[in-house]
Amino acid sequence: MSSPLTACAVFAAALACAVPAYCAESEAQSAQSLRQSELVRLVRQDCGSCHGMTLAGGLGPALSKEALAQRPQSYLQEIILHGIPGTPMPPWRGLLSDQDAQWIARELLRGFPDGR
Ligand code: HEC
């Protein structure tokens, strides 16, 4: 027979173990979503200075999902990291990690978030 006290101790032990794992996970998630909002701002401002604020094209071509429909994600990721030599499209690998470039390429293909 278990007393209410035992049940309480078991519950407390379960909590003590579950909560840090939960916290670590949600911290990682919020770090990731913070990075993603930084990337949205960077793409809208820095990429937008050449590709247009709405990414509809300017000095550089449109980066809308319609314009990029035939482009593989890995190709876009390479261009973002390494630029296109001989054109104004600069390399971004000093500022962006592989993961960042992969995320931007994926979001461009989906229709980039407008950041508002
Ligand atoms: C200094 C101007 C400039 C900036 C800043 C810039 N680009 Fe470009 N980008 C260009 C130009 C110009 C081209 C077209 C080059 C060519 O092929 O003639 C291009 C091409 C591209 C392409 C290839 C498009 C296609 O249809 O193949 C992608 C993708 C791209 N840029 C993404 C980005 C992203 C993402 C950023 C920001 C991280 C960025 N660019 C910032 C000028 C720029």
Express each pLDDT in 44-95 by its tens digit: 999 999 999 899 999 999 999 999 999 999 999 999 999 999 999 999 999 9
What pLDDT is stored for residue 26 in this prediction? 83
Domains of the chain: 35-110 (1.10.760.10)
Distance 89 CA to ligand 1 centre (A): 5
> How far apart are the CA of 45 and the centre of ligand 1, in A?
13
Separation CA 49–CA 65 (nearest Å): 18
Would the pTM count as exceeding 0.85? no
Residue whose C-alpha is closest to residue 111's, from 47, 61, 55: 55
Q: Which pLDDT score is estimated for 113?
A: 94
What confidence score (pLDDT) does residue 96 get? 97
Q: Which residue shows structure tokens 């909560």?
A: 19
